Amino acid sequence: MPVIYKYSAATECSLKRPFQMLIGGAWVNAESGETLETRNPADGSVITTIPAGDKVDIDQAVVAARRAFENSPWAGMTPGIRAKLLWRVAELIEEHADVFAELETLDNGKPLKASRALDVPGAAAYFRYWSGWCTKVSGQTPQLDLPGEFMAMTLREPVGVVGLITPWNFPLLSAASKLGPALAAGCTAVLKPAEQTSLTALRLGELLMEAGLPAGVVNIVTGLGIKAGAALAEHQGVDKISFTGSTAVGKSLLVASQGNLKRLTLELGGKSPTIILPDADLDRAIAGAAHAIFRNAGQVCAAGSRLYVPRRQFDYVVNGIVSMSGDYKIGPGSDPETTLGPLVSERQRERVLGYVDDARQDGAQILTGGRAYGNAGYFVEPTIIGNVKPDMKVVQEEIFGPVLVVTPVDDLEELAALANNTIYGLSASIWTRDISSAYKLARRIRAGTITINSGNIGGPNIPFGGFKQSGWGRENGVQGIESFTELKTVITAL
Ligand code: NAP
């Protein structure tokens, strides 16, 4: 019997209010009056509608953000006051944790347990971390190597109006991880959340206003990527785009942003390897490998979607992961027992199943799963595919679902080459008891994050980003805030 979850009164109330866009401090519909339906991935039902913003709305939002930047109600505030406001946002997220967790699960499908334990507290942690940076952005005083007396200094100034474009896998967390450093640096922003999962970003906008951010400092425009997102990326009034999403769309932003040569941070796709060395604690590694691919139903940019294991340990490890895949409780995120929720949309489910079909046709072997699950909603069984060849699509391309491809390895010297054999370079994890082998291998893998005896973990102070076609730049930590600044040099002859 499916468990019927009763949403809190606060969430019911939140759902009854309209979801509108935030432009210049006002809550508005799209100028065109058009809306988009947003669906519950657990059963396909329509939750509500959101405004279908387009170029016109983006234009208004950029004008509002530009005005707020030039008039300096935000960058002109003392850093300590800005810090207090961002800290207040964190507190407000925590005060409304139930609503945010429930909305996120309803909109994205992820287990409520995960929304409560990770997404919502994570978003608060991001605002708290970035609050601290408001008072710490600073320049340097380099010595000039010239005759005469000079004083040189560098200033870190906000880059200006920033466009923040986020994906659907961690909607609230992605919004927080971009808004936090942008605001700490003194920028003003236009946020374009993913069309499938805009609800928590819009409710976050309410908290930003309640915390006391001046009108126009943060604007939120919902709508389709090809309309609202593309208009933001092309806009001459935007100084920087920070984008998280697919490599294909990331590449299109290079063209879109060239008009005014805006700065770009690109957090893109991945096809990350999990590598188990012969001396690893195999049972820990099995659990880690399963979690790395099945967490968030595989909709994680750093998901461990390729597995490499020495041939001697291969059957033991793969059987272990197959067995663990059977332990996942598939169901709606609102069921407290659920550990594997649906994919975000019907389109994503079909895309994932299409990859599995391709693999079948190419002669790969489906070791477990490989099918849609249930009669309603967008569920896919945890899937493991063996007998793959390195050039198969299923090995080379990001699937973004609960699908693991497994490869036995005969020569350990080949591991780095195998790990590096895709266009991506986001992350990798290595399982071994020999830390020296782990470091040696870590140095040879071209990826932005390498974890040893752990799946992918991180936080607001841990730089994150990709080598190769996994992106440009790094988010989080000092690199994260610097990417929202311009460096100015001032030299004075004394
Ligand atoms: P996506 O299709 O690239 O969309 C990402 C965002 O870009 C959405 O807001 C989307 O809007 C918008 N967009 C789409 N077309 C656009 C265009 N032409 N111009 C401007 N914006 C446009 O990615 P997704 O399917 O939502 O998310 C999955 C991808 O994100 C995966 O590839 C994953 O690896 C990547 N990801 C990377 C990281 C990282 O940190 N490296 C983290 C999470 C996810 P609509 O959704 O409204 O169309």
Q: Domain with 442 in it: what CATH number?
A: 3.40.309.10
> In the sheet where 304-310 sits, what is the strand order?
365-368, 383-386, 403-409, 304-310, 272-276, 427-431, 449-452
Q: What burial letters (b/e) apply to 278-289, b meaning 16+ CB within 10 Å?
A: bebebeebbebb
- What is the distance in angstroms between the CA of the first residue and the CA of the last residue of the chain? 80
Paired strand residues for 492: 151
Nearest CA to ligand 1 atom 38: 301
Do 182 and 153 sit in the same domain of this protein? yes
- The answer to the question of residue 4 being in a domain is no
- The answer to the question of residue 107 being in a domain is yes
DSSP H or E run through 258? none
Q: Which amino acid is at 367?
A: L
Ligand 1 atom nearest to 247, measured from its CA = 32
pLDDT exceeds 90 at position 486: yes
Tokens matching residue 424: 């991506």
Do 56 and 24 sit in the same domain of this protein? yes
Tens-place pLDDT, residues 102-131: 999 999 999 999 999 999 999 999 999 999
Do 223 and 294 sit in the same domain of this protein? no
Tens-place pLDDT, residues 256-305: 999 999 999 999 999 999 999 999 999 999 999 999 999 999 999 999 99
Do 95 and 202 sit in the same domain of this protein? yes
Nearest CA to ligand 1 atom 15: 225
Tell me which residue of 207, 259, 265, 198 sits closest to 228, measured CA to CA.
198
CATH of the domain at 140: 3.40.605.10
Tally of structural domains, the chain: 2
Do 330 and 444 sit in the same domain of this protein? yes
Choose which residue among 110, 220, 224, 301 to substitute to test ligand 1 binding: the one with the highest number of ligand atoms within 8 A of its C-beta: 301
Do 288 and 248 sit in the same domain of this protein? no
- The answer to the question of residue 191 being in a domain is yes
Do 37 and 95 sit in the same domain of this protein? yes
pLDDT score of 76: 85
- The answer to the question of residue 54 being in a domain is yes
- The answer to the question of residue 1 being in a domain is no
- The answer to the question of residue 465 being in a domain is no
Do 185 and 330 sit in the same domain of this protein? no
Full residue range of the structural domain in which residue 369 is found: 272-458
- The answer to the question of residue 94 being in a domain is yes
Do 214 and 192 sit in the same domain of this protein? yes
Residue 269 Cα, ligand 1 centroid: separation in angstroms?
Answer: 9
How far apart CA 182 and CA 484 sit, in angstroms, is 6
- Which is the catalytic residue, given 267, 381, 398, 475? 267
Ligand 1 atom nearest to 248, measured from its CA = 3
- The answer to the question of residue 176 being in a domain is yes
Global pTM exceeds 0.95 = yes
pLDDT score of 3: 56
Do 352 and 215 sit in the same domain of this protein? no
Ligand 1 cavity residues, CB under 6 Å: 165-169, 192, 194-195, 224-226, 229-230, 233, 244-246, 249, 252, 267-270, 301, 398, 400, 426, 466, 471
pLDDT exceeds 80 at position 12: yes
Do 164 and 204 sit in the same domain of this protein? yes
Do 57 and 192 sit in the same domain of this protein? yes
Is 267 assigned a catalytic role?
yes
